[in-house]
Structure 1
């Protein structure tokens, strides 16, 4: 069972914070999007374009289920993963941290480039729409909410470590 599961929208810092948090806690780090990419031998963006979002979501759902059962460190989920009802249910009983972020900080972090398939058309409006659709799910699955606005990765990781009883 993972020590901590990180959820949040694109640009919330799930990967960078997850890596820093894992180092603080002395545990491994696992990113489900990176795992899907490694298993498929192509990027999430390519999977979306070639196979479509439903195919990616099925790969994602399987990887999240596997990771929740087998990984024991810090786990970062793709932004849309918790929206899946099965994944939402599977997150019950886990320590889940929602990394909350506003559009200004998210834009600085991700730059809204083409590697984010759901943000490729009108990125700012798409991000706001995604966040409006997903916020309730992020809040529902989380045991902690951490605001990342204007904060460094190390500051956010230290706060989470303190919340989960690790070194800070």
Structure 2
């Protein structure tokens, strides 16, 4: 297990619906460490939900807040850290993830759609959510794959089984 000075025990990345929050909580419990989600950190700083930050302040402002939240969490959090699906788009964030225990939770489009729901309040999926989700997944997949030290498929799997596989791989 890494110490606090070495950063998180595991950093979960993946598209919306991959299970980062659900699996992250289970993994943290299994490892006996705290769980942290950078979307929650953004909401705490902004004083409003992520969806409101997008609508009221714009995606650029959200990405600034997100990059700062990730940087802070990587420096201070020793448990399991879940990043927002687009956090990896920021070059400085990608640099900060180098050499860390990054786990890519891989999910197929059909599973992601079921998990996220097409009536979701996720800001990047407002218009034609299935098409938007497909586009996001295709654009980001190469980055997720490049950053990952561990890749775990989540389709048709119980989150507890996914958490167990990650714990064993760590």
Q: Which residue matches 2:47?
A: 41
C-alpha displacement at 1:142, in angstroms? 0.6
What SS does the corresponding residue of 1:159 show, helix, strand or coil? helix
C-alpha displacement at 1:112, in angstroms? 3.0
C-alpha displacement at 1:51, in angstroms? 0.5
Q: Which residue matches 1:26?
A: 32
Measure, in 1, the Cα distance between the counterparts of 2:126 and 2:46: 22
Q: State the Cα deviation string for residues 15-64 of structure 1 (Å, max 9, x = none).
A: 00000000000000000001111221211110000010000000000000
C-alpha displacement at 1:83, in angstroms? 1.3
Tell me the TM-score normalised to structure 1 length. Answer: 0.96
Gap regions ≥5 residues in structure 1 = none
Report runs of 4+ in structure 1 exceeding 3 Å deviation: none
What SS does the corresponding residue of 1:66 show, helix, strand or coil? helix
C-alpha displacement at 1:114, in angstroms? 3.8
Which of 91, 100, 107 lines up with 1:101 in the alignment?
A: 107
Q: State the Cα deviation string for residues 45-95 of structure 1 (Å, max 9, x = none).
A: 100000100000000000000000000000000000011111000001110
Which of 77, 83, 91 lines up with 1:85 in the alignment?
A: 91
Gap regions ≥5 residues in structure 2 = 1-6
Q: Which residue matches 1:124?
A: 130
